[in-house]
A and B are shown apart, each in its own frame.
Chain A
Amino acid sequence: MTEENINPRLGIVVSGSVDKGTEVRLDSSASVEDMVVGRYVTIEGRQRRFFGMITDISLGVTDSELTVAPPREVDSFLSEVLSGTATYATLHVLPMLTMGIEGSEPVKTVPSHFSTVNLASDTDMELIFGEEDETRFNVGNPLDMETKLCLDLPEFVKRSNGIFGKSGTGKTFLTRILLIGMLQKSKAVNLIFDMHNEYGWEGSTEEGQRKVKALKQLFPDQVAVFTLDEENSRRRGVSTDFVVRIGYDEIEPEDIVLLRQTLNLTEPAVEAVYQLHRRFRGEWIERTLALQDSDEIPEGLNIHESTLKNLQRGLQTIRRLPFIQPHVPTNAVRTMLEYLDRGMNIVLEFGRYRDITAYMLVANMLARRIYAQYQERMERAMGEGLAQPNPLVITIEEAHKFLNREVASQAIFGTIAREMRKYNVSLLVIDQRPSGIDEEVMSQMGTKITCLLDNERDIDSVLAGVAGKNELKSVLSRLAPKRQALIFGHAVPMPVAFQPLEYGSAESYKRFMPAGDTGQRAQKDIEELWN
């Protein structure tokens, strides 16, 4: 085969097993240095066509004496003769899919001996990852290939998903791209707990101060920005739709329980919260904080003085948050639900209140109530045959704080992750320490996208339970530190390392725009913004 051939032949299968993958002897015409771990190949078996990934490349000799007395000159006649014959290269290929007439399916066998192995062409890749259409959204290109990697987004949002990677590897950019995709191609609405104010309005790039646009600027008709910090939003020039305030009376014991670690509460203090709530009802926070010493603790409540002090210190922390007020006129949860029902996506900005206490309190409170509403509506919809509420995707950052082993069973996000789509609510988890997330939650995630990780435990927890884990490990640890990611799970037929689309230039925004009138209008808006 000539080099111009689109499907250059690489070699033949010489051994293998379903478990460990196949060994491919490289033809002497193919250069071993052109082979890259993570590249895709097709294997032409007798009856089936296999699709696999190169996971290792090694050099071999037929006679060990060659390593003792190698040819003296590198470019000599001797080395020319020996290369590809007495000295050869083998590729370790992990077959992942078999391609039949009815589409692709996971591999259950190995190709027969001497099956030809070719480099996968763009057409092959398209066959597997599909073309962009009404439900498929292009998120990037497989590494070293021109083909588009398309995700079936309605399928993607049916389960909880995770985006992982060390800080600075492009998680936020990847998330923006996925959110845009969901906005365009799935019926789901998003609720984004935006800890660092990056998704609603402008964010900035990692290197410099170049501003990049975010959801509301691109899709003003579909996105509402809610804020906890009106002043901060105004200063940043964000047009907000609603200012979220939380009343003392809205805080329930369950909301405090989750904050046990962050508020440094003791076990008895958590017990006391329930007792106090039972006694004081909606006024429990104010009345608890008003208690001067243990003498004032109402009769019948078994609370020690040190416990009370511990609890009060914790509640003071919450009271100091400016968006927590004794009484609020508008219920934030109700407003959010109204927006979500209209199909609007909500980005909740935290402004200056970036500490984890505020984030956990608010995210948990709101999500818990919204989830309860969804649960009720879904049950009613099933019972009475009404329309189901729009599928909801809740995006949370720093997920290991909500979903670690201690709180995952109590936090609402643990429940959402486990119960999945039963109630039309799923999660998009963004995190840099996946090893901190409860294993049970991790195992329930449909699709995982991971940028570079270099902690052994993080890698293990992300790849837990995936076929060919060790092989993927070598691919994952060789990703570039930026703009490269590995995706695997429910939404893709096989794991694939890819380069996410470029995001941040005027050109990139155009690509994300939907076609049609709204698209043109939005594009005009963008050009104005850009100029």
Chain B
Amino acid sequence: MTESTERVGEVIEASTTQFVAECYELYQPPPLGSLVQVGDAGEELLGVVYYATTASLEPGRRPIARGKDEASEEAVYQASPQLEKLLRSEFSALVVGHAEGGKLLQYLPARPARIHSFVYRCPPESVRDFSTSFDFLSLLLSTALPVSVEELVAATLRQMSEAHEDSRVFLVGAGKELATLLSGEYGRLRAILERIVPPK
């Protein structure tokens, strides 16, 4: 893994199809739809961030409102520095592929990620490499998630398009793949396409 790779968290729950990671910094989960990687270079797991939460460290203890007498939100945190330690941000990622002997494969790995594995955001060149193929789209489309799948696919493609020089060409290519996958489901296809219209 290169030096420039940004470490964003640590795996705290893992299954074959997804993993949950806790962020090192409060409120700093990677953006929705971004590509993250877990594990050693050459053998890493790749996931797409589909969900993020921030909640109390202890499940039974809900945060209480504290800002009645404060001037700004910022002041709330300054007045109670312990808050940073009592709250935590988590994000969930859907496994969309893995590497085997340095080769990127867009299907599920043999084993899930290990707990406490470090989670990194993929650098743009990895994103580019990964998104040369659109096979991962079928993995995304076939999953039941707490967020709408169309939203997730659109967010993922928007994120990936930023790594490409000509984002329009990338999005048209992805759109065409989706049109094939969703033939007969024009409503879903249209919902995604309308969310990834490239800027003129």
Contacts and interface: CB of A to CB of B under 8 A. Distances in A.
Contacts of B66: none
A86 B172 contact: no
Contacts of A530: none
Contacts of B175: 77, 80-81, 85
A63 interface: yes
Contact of B186 (A28, A65, A77, A80): A65
B35 to A, nearest CB: 22
Contacts of A77: 168, 171-172, 175, 193, 197-198
B104 interface: no
Nearest to B185: A63
A209 interface: no
B179 A81 contact: yes
Contacts of B172: 77, 80-81
A241 B83 CA distance: 121
The SS class assigned to the B binding surface is helix
Contact of B183 (A76, A80, A86): A86
Nearest to A64: B186
B136 to A, nearest CB: 18
A63 B183 contact: yes
A284 B10 CA distance: 122
Interface string B150-176: 000000000000000000100110011
A62 B183 contact: yes
Contacts of A85: 175-176, 179-180, 183
Given A77-B175, A81-B179, A82-B179, A62 B184 contact: yes
A78 interface: yes
Contacts of A62: 179, 183-184
B194 A86 contact: no
Contacts of B101: none
Nearest to B175: A81
Interface residues of B, number: 19
A84 interface: yes
A421 B178 CA distance: 64
Contacts of B176: 28, 81, 84-85
Interface string A78-97: 10111011100000000000
Given A28-B176, A84-B176, A86-B179, A78 B184 contact: no
A86 B190 CA distance: 11
Nearest to A85: B179
Contacts of A80: 172, 175
Interface in A81-132: 81-82, 84-86
B59 interface: no
Contacts of B180: 85
B76 interface: no
A85 B175 CA distance: 9
A78 B193 contact: yes
Contacts of A84: 176
Nearest to A67: B186
B187 interface: yes
Contacts of B178: 81
B186 A78 contact: no
Contacts of A76: 197
Nearest to B189: A86
B183 to A, nearest CB: 4
B171 A78 contact: no
B198 A63 contact: no
A71 to B, nearest CB: 8
Interface in A424-475: none
Interface string A404-426: 00000000000000000000000
A77 B178 CA distance: 14
B104 to A, nearest CB: 25
Nearest to A77: B197
Contacts of B197: 76-78
A77 B198 CA distance: 8
A77 B172 CA distance: 7
Given A77-B171, A80-B172, A81-B179, A63 B186 contact: yes
A25 B197 CA distance: 27
A66 interface: yes
Interface string A48-67: 00000000000000110110
B190 A78 contact: yes
A28 B176 CA distance: 10
Interface in B121-174: 168, 171-172
Nearest to B171: A77
Contacts of B185: 63
Contacts of A65: 186-187
A80 B198 CA distance: 12
27 contacts: A62-B179, A62-B184, A63-B183, A63-B184, A63-B185, A63-B186, A66-B186, A69-B186, A76-B197, A77-B168, A77-B171, A77-B172, A77-B175, A77-B197, A78-B190, A78-B197, A80-B175, A81-B175, A81-B176, A81-B193, A82-B179, A85-B175, A85-B176, A85-B180, A86-B179, A86-B186, A86-B189
Interface of A: 28, 62-63, 65-66, 69, 76-78, 80-82, 84-86
Interface of B: 168, 171-172, 175-176, 178-180, 183-187, 189-190, 193-194, 197-198
Given A77-B168, A77-B198, 19 more contacts: A62-B179, A62-B183, A62-B184, A63-B183, A65-B186, A76-B197, A77-B171, A77-B172, A77-B193, A78-B190, A78-B193, A80-B172, A80-B175, A81-B176, A81-B193, A85-B175, A86-B179, A86-B183, A86-B189
Instruction: Pick the 4 closest A-B CB pairs, nearest first.
Output: A81-B175, A85-B179, A62-B183, A63-B186
